[in-house]
Structure 1
Amino acid sequence: MKKISIFLALVVFAFITSCKRDFLDIVPDNIATIDNAFTNRNEAEKYLFTCYSYLPQESNIYQNPAMLVSDEFWTYWPITSLSRLPSGPQQIARGNQSLTFPLLNYWDGESDGKAIFRALRDCNIFLEHVNEVPDLDASQKTIWAGEVQFLKAYYHFYLLRMYGPIPIIDKNLPITATTEEVRVKREPLDKVVDYIASLMDTAATKLPISIQNRSSELGHITRPIALSIKARVLTLAASPQFNGNSDYSGLKNADGTALVNTTFSVQKWQRAAEACKQAIDLCERAGIRLYKFNAAVSNISDRLKLEMSIRNSVCEPWNQELIWGFTNGTGSGIQLQAMPRLDVARSGNESTLGQLAPTLRIAELFYTKNGVPISEDKTWDFSNRYSLKTATGADQDYLQNGYITAALHFDREPRFYADLGFDGSQWYMQNKTWPVQAKAGQGQSRRAAFGYSITGYYSKKLVNWKFVIQDGLSYTQEQYPWPIMRLSDLYLLYAEALNEASGPSEAVYQYLNLVRERAGLQSVQSSWDTYSINPGKYRDQAGLRQIIHQERGIEMAFEGSRFWDLKRWKEASSTLNNGVYGWDIEQTDATGYYRPKLLFNQKFVAPRDYLWPIKENNTIVNPNLVQNPGW
């Protein structure tokens, strides 16, 4: 053990900061030895769960950079200890990332980041020893090895997406390794991508197509997960951030090895499209399909049933659309952060915060009821979208009858009303439909220095419809696994890859329209031909690219996709260098409230902010590690 400890210290010293490792979750009797961890099935299973334990919790706004680092949500500032909000992500969103002490540091496992390199070490240990477990049958050894091979590939991908080219940790170094050997270097991005894809392919051959024992194995990796995430990896590699990006021409190792190929390759898009189709075909074999609400609820309108198809594609536990659900998913955290204080008559109302606030920019992203952007619909008054309008009985499923709200909130697509709560909206839940009234002094308005929406919008999409506020600062809720990957995401990746590989086609329209149909919209062709001021937009590659990007932004809203999409499309530098706006929530009347209020002017520095910085001390300790551009 002394030799092992020395070896681990060297590796950690080389490419992550020093840290204390707690082995109590994987070995008996406080004896921290690798041998004890694989003496029997139970102990080996503990080590398997340790390999899983490093998975970043995507629904945790403290851990997931995609939630509060972009422009999708905004929060009040400053954030105090009472706020129940993380300040680190908002610091990054405000341009305050640090080279000396990076925020959300997944390289070193600091500042709410998981220690991913430590995860890779534990995955390698598991794979080296799983075949030694005496009471584990051969088929289970194969499946567990496949799960950990996938996790190992996924951890490499997580680092790649944040940092770009990374070291490949295929095997743990021997304890006899020299100082120079532990000073790992970054590998060319294409090599890392090929390594990840190959490892996911290998894992897929060992994994079951579906979970056999749902009472004990939900959350374990399956073959559809492996191939779907592989499709996501290859789509990232084909996207403009890493495919022909001259911004990285100077990113080279000390020996001159270029780390990013700056020559565009359409073959990367073709490879991504093939991977997406392979994953889609397997998902269909596994019975994975777009979710449709079919609960025995007879007293709601068809419009509300459509809304529940949209909302419950995320919030219904283990529904048929879910490809990969993270079991340590939603807990109370994100639902409390998303849901306003709906039930003002109960003391438990104070438990909900509603401070995960969508921005006005996102509210404007959603289509009109005709399925085209609000700036393109020739029947929709875009220039007067902030003017006041009174809801009538015809709007009652969406809006409160007789209530004055912004014209922006009228005649929008079903996903707008399914995903967003706002002043004048209706919030349907299993126990009741709640009116949202958020101007100063009203039920859902700001009441204190924390626990409110700074923009006037709420992320309804993230709240399960069975959430019930009770007395005594309590509530009941149905938790759901966080959707790391669902089928509509995969459909849209496939449509994007096909369009980039060869331009518009019936196959591109087919997969776009499957997502739109579930959302209650006409086809892309019909919507643009009938309602758009640019009816031919979907017929050329550039126009269809814009449509696909916006469709992804809408369909995947609030799920942690937008931040990474803007980066891989190289659109972050244009999108995240603008003002963040919400409504003027301190006003009591509609005229004062419905004035767009500037909350912050974002600053995104390109190419620096497209990649996370490697902590400065790491590059000092290990001179083989070159820093990312701009840091």
Structure 2
Amino acid sequence: MKNKYTILLTLFAVLAIASCKKGGVLDQVKTTDLNEEKTFSDSTRTIQFLTRIYSDIGFSADPRRFGSSVGVYSITDEVEGSLLAATAYNVIFQTGAVSAINIPTDAWVTSYANIRRVNVFLKHLPETPLSPGLRNKLAGEARFLRAWYYFIMLKHYGGVPLIGDAVYEATDDVPGKRATFEACVNYIESECNAAASQLPLTQNGLDYGRITRGACLALKSRLLLYAASPLFNARPEMDGVLGYTTFDGQRWNKAAQAALDVINLNQYQLLELSTPAPGYGFQKVFTLRKNTEYILAAMAGNNRTLEAIWDPPSRAGSGSAYPYQELVDAFGTKNGKPIATDPTYNPADPYANRDPRLNYTILFNQGLRLGTNKAISPVNTYVNAAQDGFPLTKTGYFLRKFLDENTIASATSSTTERCFPLIRYAEILLNYAEAANESGDINTAYTQLVAIRRRAGINAGADGMYGLTAGMSKEDMRVLIQNERRVELAIEEHRYWDVRRWKIAENISNKTLHGMRITKVGNGYTYERIDIRTPVFVAPKWYLWPIPQSEVNKSVDLTQNPGW
């Protein structure tokens, strides 16, 4: 049977190619008269072809992935989306209406389309007029990108068909049999290692934003952390397609070493700034195109993209993403303690004396934000407050993370040079902490968390532990690391996948999510916790996405995930 994957129907006669601009910005241009011979006989066009593959690198984490301001953060317990239609993806996922027929196809189609482009590129690279040294570097970039797109599919579906370097045409018999999870992990790891050996530690000038050795090792760190996680261990179903058939604790050791390999490059560090406020580095880093913390980013030109979709109406934004109270509550106090156990937390003044990252992530009532008059002023989210008040904001909150303090959505406002982070150094430290803890090395976990919390602006305390409790068990440390990932990596596409790989989604995702109804009373406010929605999660079916049924129908060899 002819297996006509969507990716193989891409017509090479119409190429969307991109050119490198100042600062590593990737801007798309189109041409309609190119074929393979013309493309790869020209050095500029060859590089443009590779740059086209880069242009999709951030699609999975894009805050607008499913339309409007609906990203992965809108289908987990981070943010309530503004879309209400039954066909909106945030509604489909949260109400349990998702199926193999209406599941978004991008994780499969976009990934395989770019894997094919990589294979075309590598096939023709030896015949291009580029120098041998440049060909070697570009081959490394291409191999990383191929590994990146395979990993996106791996976290969505488990094992997928591995096509190697083959370039299939629409009339070819394409193998549809899914490789085992282990085979996919081994392949992605080997490609990361190979690409790392071909790439420099840094890319500068017009090459800034392209893949480095550090990005290769960082992807391997994320890959091996996932591979060691509960979801993908002791999974004998479907002959190992869904995970390793047995559990092996040594996988945590391997994941810890992979994170340490990135750290030992000595190329990255957390951006630590204590002025004008504690933890300011956590705010500033997201507005800088070039910084010490980003290992891989989806490059962009100067923009107001996130301000336009997240800022409240009073700041000229659409205000269309509303953080849940559960995310707000996950942030502890400035002493690094949970709000439930720290007596400095005052429920009558709930946003005072909190972990500084809360203020840099959530725009809450009376939070300060640049206005259209170019002055900083409070945002009012209380009931019936003009422009921004409840119920316009369904939860009583707007998103603030990533927003530039000097930029709003208005065309009269300056733009920001922000690029969206795909892998940053804070993740690597948290990867190391988690893997080390699961391996029994709790002291290493403490060290990484101290570094994260110090940059966050949390008080060191008399013991210099930044709120950490001495002598924690592995289980207690595990829970703490899970929450630290939640607050440090919020809205960066981690939470959705983390609760799945930890295999706790069934305990997290079936609980009612809340907002805060704030009422102004005289010069003060009252706070009422309100129900927003109770998501639906069916275990074990929904731990992995179904392969789009339209793709399964194209091959008798392509098996669907269980339950779909």
**TM-score w.r.t. structure 1 length?**
0.80
DSSP-derived class of the 1:475 partner? coil
User: Do residues 513 (structure 1) and 485 (structure 2) align?
Assistant: no
Residue 359 in structure 1 maps to residue 324 in structure 2: yes
Check the 8 A contact 1:235/1:269 in 2, yes or no. yes
Q: Does 1:277 align with 2:249?
A: no
What's the counterpart of residue 5 of structure 1? none
Q: Is the 8 A contact 1:316 1:464 kept in 2?
A: no
CA 1:548–1:206: 2 relative to 1, 3 Å = same
Pair 522,629 (structure 1): closer, same or farther in 2 beyond 3 Å: farther
Structure 2: which amino acid aligns with 1:496?
Answer: E
2: CA distance, partners of 1:174 / 1:440: 58
Matched position secondary structure for 1:597: strand
1:171 and 1:303, CA in 2 relative to 1: closer, same or farther beyond 3 A? closer
1:596 matched to 2:534? The reply is no
2: CA distance between counterparts of 1:14 and 1:169? 12
Larger CA deviation: 438-447 vs 191-200: 438-447
Question: How far has the Cα of 1:460 moved from its partner?
Answer: 1.6
Task: Give the drift of 1:310.
Answer: 1.6
Counterpart residue number, 2:388:
445
In the alignment, what sits opposite 1:400?
none
How far residue 628 of structure 1 moved from its aligned partner, in angstroms, is 0.8
Q: Which amino acid aligns with 1:75?
A: G
Match of 1:47 in 2: 49
Partner residue in 2 for 1:231: 221
- Is the CA contact 2:162–2:179 (under 8 Å) kept in the aligned structure 1? yes
- 1:409-424 equivalent positions in 2, closer than 5 A: 409-424=351-366
Q: 1:96 to 1:524 in 2, by over 3 A?
A: farther
- Residues 468-523 of structure 1 show CA distances to partners (whole Å, capped at 9, x for unaligned) of 465xx643321311111111111111111111112412x22111111111112256
Equivalent of 1:56 in 58, 76, 81? 58
Partner of 2:249: 266
1:581-630, Cα deviation, whole Å (9 max, x unpaired): 11236x66589962112111111111111111112233333121111122
- Residue among 194, 203, 206 paired with 2:198: 206
* Alignment match of 2:377 (pick from 396, 421, 434): 434
Within 5 A, what are the aligned runs for 1:607-626? 607-626=540-559
- What amino acid maps onto 1:291 in structure 2? L
Change over 3 Å in CA distance of 1:175–1:439 after alignment to 2: closer
In structure 2, what is the Cα distance between the partners aligned to 1:409 and 1:176?
58
Give the Cα separation in 1 of the matches to 2:560 and 2:31.
43
Of 415, 419, 434, the residue aligned with 1:496 is: 434
How far apart are 1:25 and its partner, in Å?
3.4
The reply on whether 1:186 has 2:178 as its aligned counterpart is yes
Partner of 2:126: 131
Partners of 1:467 and 1:67 lie apart in 2 by: 23
CA distance in 1, matches of 2:344, 2:464: 13
The count of aligned residue pairs is: 547
- Determine the C-alpha separation between the residues in 2 that align with 1:553 and 1:18: 39
CA distance 1:468–1:131, change in 2 (3 Å): same
- Quick check: which has more Rg, 1 or 2? 1
Aligned counterpart in structure 2 of residue 241 of structure 1, from 221, 231, 234: 231
CA distance in 1, matches of 2:220, 2:429: 14
* CA-to-aligned-CA distance 1:58-80 (integer Å, 9 cap, x gap): 33323585221111010245259
Question: Using the alignment, how far apart are the partners of 1:28 and 1:240 within structure 2?
Answer: 44
| Cα distance in 2 between the residues matched to 1:492 and 1:303 | 25
Task: Give secondary structure in 2 for the equivalent of 1:376.
Answer: coil
**Which of 256, 259, 270 matches 1:290?**
270
Q: State the secondary structure of the residue aligned to 1:408.
A: coil
Distance 1:176 1:225, change over 3 A: closer
The answer to whether the 8 Å contact 1:187/1:259 transfers is no
* 1:366-418 CA distance string (max 9 Å, x none): 011210211233x246xx73xxx3xxxxxxxxxxxxxxxxx322321211222
| 8 Å Cα contact 1:61/1:334 also seen in 2 | no
Measured in 2, the distance between the counterparts of 1:44 and 1:223 equals 22
Q: Is residue 439–residue 589 contact of structure 1 (8 Å, CA) maintained in 2?
A: no
Matched, 1:454 2:446: no
Distance 1:280 1:155 in 2: 24
Q: Matches of 1:75 and 1:353 in 2, distance apart? A: 12
Aligned to 2:421: 483
Give the stretch that moved more between structures: 547-556 or 453-462. Answer: 453-462
Counterpart contact for 2:82–2:321, Cα < 8 Å? no
Q: Deviations over 1:5-63 (max 9, x none)?
A: xxxx955x157685666624359974453222210201211211122233233333235
